[in-house]
Amino acid sequence: MTVSGTRHLAPAAVVAATGLVGRPVFSTSATDARTALLRLPAVRDAQVRLSLPDRAEVDLVERVAIGRWVTGAVEWYVDPDGVLFGSIDPAGAPSLRALDDRVATRTCAGSSGGRCVDPAVVAGALRLARIGPGELRADAVRPEVHVDPVQGLVVRSGAGWEIRFGTPDDLEQKLSNAKKVLSDNPTRRLDYVDVRSPDRIVFSPQ
């Protein structure tokens, strides 16, 4: 069997997933093998061709990782559709990272990954992950993006304060609002800045 198109998956894992090993060609189904491959979270599409006497060719189209998604102790790769998947390539995704603190995401991903995150949340979290050290305020030296089960998208500064964005809609406006508050208060002690409503900014302590 020949396998092409792999980066995130080991060819041996692809071969095993097809279910074709050790079975004669006339008693197997390329359609069934393809269906089995599509169950692998890292696979976006697959083609399987069988030919006598015992040849099989597998062409994969794997998912494109746009960032890293952490659930519990596991760091997954994530694609624009919100699919979490593992990879044998440690450099197979950008360094952009979000930590998802929701039990539902961790339960959905289990041990193999899957379509577990709203694509809008993925896009919003990775947008916030592009914020660099010091971009928000001088003491924000280790900004970290979380998806909180109550507050939604949150950026934790590494200095003891955080920005609560809520849902990913109107994110650029929310981010602009947060930056203005921080610019106007460059050294003030903060616990949080809440910009979940673009029309009403709350920060603590007042």
CA-nearest of 27, 40, 101 to 3 is: 40
Kindly give, in sequence order, each residue whose CB lies less than 8 Å from that of residue 132, ignoring residues fewer than 6 positions away: 143
Mean pLDDT of 177-193: 95
What value, to the nearest 5°, has the Cα angle with vertex 140 and ends 135 and 141?
A: 95
What does CATH list as the number for 67-204?
A: 3.40.50
Helices (H), 23-102: 30-38
**What distance in Å separates the CA atoms of residue 97 and residue 192, rounded to the nearest whole number?**
21
| Fold observed for domain 2-62 | Ubiquitin-like (UB roll) (3.10.20)
Whether residue 184 is predicted with pLDDT greater than 90 in this model: the reply is yes
Kindly give, in sequence order, each residue whose CB lies less than 8 Å from that of residue 177, ignoring residues fewer than 6 positions away: 195, 198, 201
pTM confidence score: 0.92
Domain boundaries, the chain: 2-62, 67-204
User: In b/e form, how buried is each residue of 137-170, taking b as 16+ CB within 10 angstroms?
Assistant: bebbeebbbbbbeebbbbbbbebebbbbbbebeb
Q: Identify the pLDDT of residue 68.
A: 98
Bridge pairing between strands 97-100 and 144-148: parallel
pLDDT in tens, 109-160: 999 999 999 999 999 999 999 998 889 999 999 999 999 999 999 999 999 9
pLDDT in tens, 55-90: 889 999 999 999 999 999 999 999 999 999 999 999
Both tokens assigned to 109: 């991903």
Kindly give, in sequence order, each residue whose CB lies less than 8 Å from that of residue 92, ignoring residues fewer than 6 positions away: 7, 8, 65, 77
